Amino acid sequence: MGFLAVKNTAIRAIYTSVPKQKVFTKDYEWVTIAERDLFAKTTGIIERRVASSTTTCSDLCFQAADELLNDLNCRDQIDLILFVSQSPDYFLPSTAVILQDKLGLSKNTVAFDINLGCSGYVYGLTVIGQFLQNGNFRKALLLCGDKSTISTNYQDKSTFPLFGDAGSATLLEFDKSADEWFAHLASDGSGKDSIIIEHGHSRHPYGSVSDEYIEYEPGVIRTKKHLALNGMDVFNFALKEVAPSIKLMLENFEINIDDIDYFVLHQANKLINESVRKKLKVAPEKVPYSIQNFGNTSSASIPLTICTCLKEKIESDQLTLLLAGFGVGFSWGSVVLKTSEIHTKIVEHD
């Protein structure tokens, strides 16, 4: 049923990195002013951060991780590094292995990638928890993010104004005194075509596909090497699966929904997230948003929301959080965990 419990694992720090460059919805001249206003109202996106052509997702994650390791003085204690992204540096080798060397970590460090997007942070936390909970690993770095803007076309109003770039680094460690976590993970590959870059990898390799631009509908022009997103399919998926998955997990582990301080949802768009919130019957003040400033940042959106919206509380208070990621795949998951004095920082990448 996809239920997991994680013991003896604690989050110690969450750092995020975003590009300095800001792009504003009001300046997206491919659509009318009325369409821009409607887009901002429904998605909640006012501005986004866009990386330069020479900046990769791993560059953003590296900056977040490097500052974290310096601030907490634990570079020589990392046993595991997990990179969760759908914008790796290369087809091969693994980006996590590259970052192991770039961060100056021990050659004994276990390093590997997971190819996941919107659900990636929740999946990453639970995977690392399986390594840490038995005490064979001391500390681990979870690096999550995407450079989604590299895959969108300016003339595609369904994707171009939606996504921003960001990277994150989360430090976890073995701790016998930590409260147990509870999670539910799920997937449905029949929805693969709803969010997809169809051409450019093994199924349709570069060199065998056309660079022809196709107009799918008014205002939606792209090649098959660009990101394609069916907004209605994604909306229906989120309404069908996300809230029920959260309720199922809470019921399975006998967790009272009223005991959760904050619900940190993947920042898909505000209309989707508000629909999920209302299905859960959760008060608005318990569901923080960062999408207005950063757009949809894929697997970085949950840590970015924590760093921007909950910084003061998470650094000083003990909180019970429910984190929920959902999207491309389709893939989704949620985790309930208790936090205690987590260091946070958000840095700008030049």
pTM value is 0.97
Query: 296 lies in a domain?
Result: yes
Is 266 known to be catalytic? yes
Under 8 Å between Cβ of 341 and 10: no
Report the pLDDT value the prediction gives residue 115, as an integer from 0 to 100: 97
* Among 139-148, 156-165, 205-214, 283-292, the least confident range: 205-214
Is 108 known to be catalytic? no
Write the pLDDT tens digit of every residue in 153-193. 999 999 999 999 999 999 999 999 999 999 999 999 999 99
Task: Give yes or no: residues 160 and 248 share one domain.
Answer: no
Task: Give yes or no: residues 241 and 153 share one domain.
Answer: no
Nearest by Cα to 234 from 331, 95, 96, 166: 331
Query: 134 lies in a domain?
Result: yes
The pLDDT-based confidence of 211 (bands split at 50, 70, 90) is confident
Task: Give yes or no: residues 124 and 192 share one domain.
Answer: no
Query: 93 lies in a domain?
Result: yes
Under 8 Å between Cβ of 301 and 208: no
In the set 293, 296, 307, 349, the catalytic residue is 296
Average pLDDT on 288-305 reads 98
Report the pLDDT value the prediction gives residue 230, as an integer from 0 to 100: 95
Task: Give yes or no: residues 27 and 87 share one domain.
Answer: yes
Query: 205 lies in a domain?
Result: no
In the set 118, 226, 293, 349, the catalytic residue is 118
Write the pLDDT tens digit of every residue in 248-296. 999 999 999 999 999 999 999 999 999 999 999 999 999 999 999 999 9
Secondary structure (DSSP) of 49-82: E---TT--HHHHHHHHHHHHHHHHT-GGGEEEEE
Phi, psi of 304 (to 5 degrees): -65, -40
Cα 2 to its chain centre, rounded Å, is 20
Task: Give yes or no: residues 17 and 129 share one domain.
Answer: yes
Report the pLDDT value the prediction gives residue 84, as an integer from 0 to 100: 98
How many structural domains comprise the chain? 2
Query: 209 lies in a domain?
Result: no
Q: What is the mean pLDDT of the chain?
A: 96
Task: Give yes or no: residues 161 and 279 share one domain.
Answer: no
Task: Give yes or no: residues 254 and 153 share one domain.
Answer: no
Task: Give yes or no: residues 40 and 11 share one domain.
Answer: yes
Average pLDDT on 139-161 reads 97
| CATH number (domain holding residue 106) | 3.40.47.10
Write the pLDDT tens digit of every residue in 91-134. 999 999 999 999 999 999 999 999 999 999 999 999 999 999 99
Query: 348 lies in a domain?
Result: no
Q: Locate tokens 């990179």: which residue?
A: 83
Write the pLDDT tens digit of every residue in 27-66. 999 999 999 999 999 999 999 999 999 999 999 999 999 9
Burial of 313 (0-12, 13-18, 19+ CB in 10 A): middle
In the set 184, 226, 266, 349, the catalytic residue is 266
* Distant-in-sequence, close-in-space partners of 320: CB < 8 Å, separation ≥ 6: 259, 260, 261, 336, 337, 338, 339
Secondary structure (DSSP) of 25-56: GGG-TTS-HHHHHHHHHHH--SEEE---TT--
Task: Give yes or no: residues 286 and 196 share one domain.
Answer: yes
Task: Give yes or no: residues 161 and 14 share one domain.
Answer: yes
What angle is formed at CA 340 by the lines to CA 337 and CA 341, rounded to 5 degrees? 140
Res 210 pLDDT > 90: no
Report the pLDDT value the prediction gives residue 206, as an integer from 0 to 100: 78
Domain range for 51 is 6-174
Query: 1 lies in a domain?
Result: no
Write the pLDDT tens digit of every residue in 221-232. 999 999 999 999
Task: Give yes or no: residues 29 and 154 share one domain.
Answer: yes
Between helix 301-309 and helix 120-132 the angle, nearest 10°, is: 90
* Among 178-182, 200-204, 333-337, the least confident range: 200-204
The pLDDT-based confidence of 147 (bands split at 50, 70, 90) is very high
Report the pLDDT value the prediction gives residue 207, as an integer from 0 to 100: 77
Query: 264 lies in a domain?
Result: yes
Task: Give yes or no: residues 10 and 146 share one domain.
Answer: yes
